[in-house]
Amino acid sequence: MLKRWLPALFAGGFALAACAADGGDSAAVAAVRKAVQGLGPGVQVDAVTPSPLPGFYQVIASGHLVYVSADGKYMLNGDLVDLASRRNVSQDAWAAFRKAELAKLPPGQGIVFAPPNPKYKITVFTDVNCAYCRAFHAHIAEINKEGIAVEYLAWPREGLTTTSGRDTPTYTEMVSVWCAADRKAAFTAAKQGQAPKPASCASPVKDQFNLGVRLGVDGTPTVIAPDGRVLGGFVPPDKLLRLLQDPSAGG
């Protein structure tokens, strides 16, 4: 059964720029694109690629991955698993997509806490007010001690605007953090419940939120490994290190 989020999401009109090259038969790709874009106003597709599933294409759009028949008539929603290798093909595709998109992030957009000569670097989509995000950051010194650098990206859970069109309080607060003279100090203070001094600038908060939507982020914290795997939400430092050391872990 098709999940309810598909019509609801696409009807919401997330307008996302196409960013990945299509592959496969051009007529089939056009049919697949047209079918997905027809699910709602403003829908655009991020990637259409041939699928291991005969007769279907793999589509990433609006933060979701689905499989659409080459004639555009049928859509499958769910993980595709290679039974011979027991490999989750959908998770592998998501990881590759996340890795490629995060590699395009301009330097200096995130807020980075890193040890000297880190062994690993993770990306964490975060909200300054969520309890688990605060718990994660409370362990930042221990995480760094494990040789792990953390790049935080902004993902206000309330979204960017209210139903009345005003900026959400969390978005406003995160803009103030990203516009602070000392981002790291403002970030840590906000995680401890201290509201940042109001500030405004050409911040990357909106772009980071939209990037998170495209990458399938639906809650905070979302911890992403260097290879694009999602390692979970709040992860204790010792477990985080084990997950990074084990390529078979995460999604």
**44/128 same-domain check:** no
Residues in CB range of 57: below 8 A, 6 or more apart: 24, 28, 29, 32, 48, 49, 50, 51, 67, 68, 69, 70
| Type of residue numbered 175 | V
**68/172 same-domain check:** no
Among residues 81, 97, 123, which one ends one of the domains? 81
Structural domain total, the chain: 2
**76/118 same-domain check:** no
Give per-residue pLDDT as tens, 225-245: 999 999 999 999 999 999 999
Residues in CB range of 210: below 8 A, 6 or more apart: 16
State pTM to two decimals.
0.87
Domain with 53 in it: what CATH number? 3.10.450.70
Q: Is residue 25 situated within a structural domain?
A: yes
Give per-residue pLDDT as tens, 211-220: 999 999 999 9
Q: Is residue 91 situated within a structural domain?
A: no
Q: Is residue 93 situated within a structural domain?
A: no
What domain range is 39 assigned to? 5-81
Give residue 64's pLDDT band: very low, low, confident or very high (50, 70, 90): confident
**238/149 same-domain check:** yes
Residues in CB range of 113: below 8 A, 6 or more apart: 140, 143, 144, 149, 150, 152, 184
Q: Is residue 96 situated within a structural domain?
A: no
